[in-house]
Amino acid sequence: MRMYDIIAKKRDGGELTYDELEFFVKGTLGAVPDYQLTALLMAICIRGMTERETSDLTLLMANSGDVMDLSKIEGATVDKHSTGGVGDKTTLIAGPIAAACGVKVAKMSGRALGHTGGTIDKLESIPGFRTSLDNSEFFDIVNRVGICVVGQTANLAPADKKLYSLRDVTATVESIPLIASSVMSKKLAAGSSGILLDVKVGSGAFMKTREAAVALAEQMVAIGKTAGRRTAALITNMDIPLGRAIGNSLEVIEAVETLSGKGPKDITDLCLELAANMLYLSLPEHITLTECRRRTSEALDSGAALKKLEEMAAAQGGDISCLKDTSKFPAAAETGEYTAASEGYITSIDAEGCGIAASLLGAGREKAGEPIDHAAGIVLLKKPGEYVKRGEPLAMLYASDQIKLVQGLARLDKCYNISAIKPSLPELIIASV
The residue among 182 and 236 lying less far from ligand URA, judged by its C-beta, is 182
Q: Give the binding range for ligand URA (CB under 6 A) out of 22-30, 177-185, 300-308, 364-372.
A: 177-185
The number of residues that bind ligand URA (CB under 6 A) is 8
Site for ligand URA in 200-239 (CB under 6 A): none
Radius of gyration of the chain, Cα coordinates, nearest whole angstrom = 22
Please pick, from the candidates 129, 164, 329, 416, the single residue that binds ligand URA as defined by CB under 6 A.
Answer: 164
Cβ-proximal residue to ligand URA, closest one: 182
Backbone angles phi and psi of 102, in degrees to 5: 105, -5
Report the residue count for the chain.
Answer: 433
Q: Is 54 in the site for ligand URA (CB under 6 A)?
A: no
81 is catalytic: yes
130 is catalytic: no
Catalytic residue among 64, 82, 181, 182: 182
CA distance 114 to 355: 8
Catalytic residue among 56, 79, 80, 81: 81
Q: Is 58 in the site for ligand URA (CB under 6 A)?
A: no
Least Cβ distance, residue 238 to ligand URA (angstroms): 13
Residue type, 198: D
Burial of 427 by CB count in 10 Å (0-12 exposed, 13-18 middle, 19+ buried)?
exposed
Least Cβ distance, residue 180 to ligand URA (angstroms): 8
47 is catalytic: no
Least Cβ distance, residue 84 to ligand URA (angstroms): 6
Please pick, from the candidates 39, 57, 94, 179, the single residue that binds ligand URA as defined by CB under 6 A.
Answer: 179
Catalytic residue among 115, 167, 244, 295: 167
Nearest to 194, CA basis, from 297, 107, 306, 294: 107
Q: What angle do CA 202, 203, 207 make, to 5 degrees?
A: 50
The residue among 173 and 215 lying less far from ligand URA, judged by its C-beta, is 173
Site for ligand URA in 83-122 (CB under 6 A): 83-84
Active site residues: 81, 160, 167, 182, 186
Q: Which residues bind ligand URA (CB under 6 A)?
A: 83-84, 164, 173, 178-179, 182-183
